[in-house]
Amino acid sequence: MLKTIVSPTLFVAPILLNRLQMYELRPQFSLREAVGYLKLYLHPQNNYLQTVQHNLRLQKIITAIGIVLFFVKVLAWWLTRSVAILTDALESTVNVFAGLIGVYSLYVSAKPKDRDHPYGHGKAEFLSAAMEGTLISIAGLIIIYEAIDNFRHPHPIQQLDYGIILVAITAVINFVAGITCERTGKKNNSLALIASGKHLKADTYSTLGIIIGLILLYFLQLWWIDSAVAIIFAFIIMATGYRILRSSISGIMDEADHTLLDKMVAMLNRNRRENWIDLHNLRIIKYGGMLHVDCHLTVPWYLNVWEAHNEIDILSKLVKEEFGESIELFVHTDPCLNISCPICTKTDCNVRQHPFTKKVEWTMENILSDKKHHL
């Protein structure tokens, strides 16, 4: 609603439209839309901070669920004395610690930019995921140790039916929580939530395997099955921990996300404009849920500042429509050179020095390069 916009914005928006019309740029939006865009520019952090705060609330709920499920599994272990159920309980201990770390990391990443952190605090999520991956791997090693000890010194298992029921309940709750967490994390570009979701789903799969093993144990009365099941799922847990740790280290080291870059290149090729002669030196860096994108856009050298800025605004709008509002986009405009003429598709250029020869398709190689495109 317009009445919710601060009054200075209402004064600036008509002026902006008039100036654009003076330069015959004819923007394709109304006064109401112009006010909306201007509000976004005046408050660029609002959407991002709201997203991070939503992530933080969800992580708190997940942590609370993890604490409850941990005590349920401890009860199941106390009733049965099964090392396989102890395996599940130990992993839930990791869930609790990882959840608390995740809450803190999302709390830190929700802080706005400041002078000491000009890109925000989003990297805290990568540290959280790294610690969670490490804890998961350590839990796997502890489980293997306990299982081997149980092979050497077996002990009777009791009240297995009650244990199976309790553990099955925790599996269902974990799966629902994990799916919710991972979907929200992917939607909001939160590595901490994605890591928590994957962890909870992995916990569910390992719990299901443990339940199958316990059912076999219940009917066959082969006590070594308890330890065998624990060892198998310990290795699965460690593999999950490694994947989470690897992903977090990639984020900390700003490793290129080729899937994200491929998506960006495809979107740019679909929406390419005549005035976008080439786009190069593209870089995408993740800061938690925020994406930082910068690139060089080559435009006709005779465009004035307003016209060139209009091309940047169109590019910015396309990127945000594709990847969401949690994006910082910095575009440096370059003037075209004589070498640009053979690849320039602009048909109404009156200063062309060379005839058009061939359209250069934007690819991962030339769009990441720090050089203007040419034949």
Q: How much is the pTM? A: 0.58
Q: Which residues touch 282 (CB under 8 Å, ≥6 apart)?
A: 261, 264, 293, 294, 295, 367, 368
Please report which confidence band the pLDDT of residue 128 belongs to, taking 50, 70 and 90 as the band edges.
confident
Q: How far apart are CA 365 and CA 268, in angstroms?
A: 14
* pLDDT for the residue 47: 58
Give the CA count within 13 Å in the CB-facing half-sphere of 347.
Answer: 1
Tokens in use for 170? 């925790």
Rounded to an integer, the average pLDDT of 319-342 is: 86
Please tell me the predicted confidence (pLDDT) of residue 233.
79
The stretch 277-301 carries a mean pLDDT of 85
Mean predicted confidence (pLDDT) in 157-163: 84
Question: What percent of the chain stands above pLDDT 90?
Answer: 21
Q: What percent of the chain has pLDDT over 70?
A: 78
Ranked by mean pLDDT, the top range of 34-43, 146-155, 228-237, 337-346 is 337-346
CA angle, corner 221, sides to 216 and 235, nearest 5? Answer: 50
Encode pLDDT of 48-82 as tens digits: 567 767 777 887 888 888 889 889 988 998 888 88
* Nearest CA among 364, 347, 365, 363 for reference residue 355: 347
46-252: what fold? Alpha-lytic protease prodomain-like (1.20.1510)
> 256-375 adopts what CATH topology?
Alpha-Beta Plaits (3.30.70)
Q: Where are the domains of the chain?
A: 46-252, 256-375
**Is the per-residue pLDDT at 22 higher than 60?**
no
* Residue 28 banded pLDDT, cuts 50, 70, 90: very low
From 34-48, 77-91, 340-354, the region with the lowest mean pLDDT: 34-48
| Alpha helical stretches, state H, 153-301 | 160-188, 191-220, 224-252, 258-270
Q: Which phi and psi angles does 238 have, rounded to 5°?
A: -65, -35
Q: Is residue 219 classed as helix, strand or coil in its secondary structure? A: helix
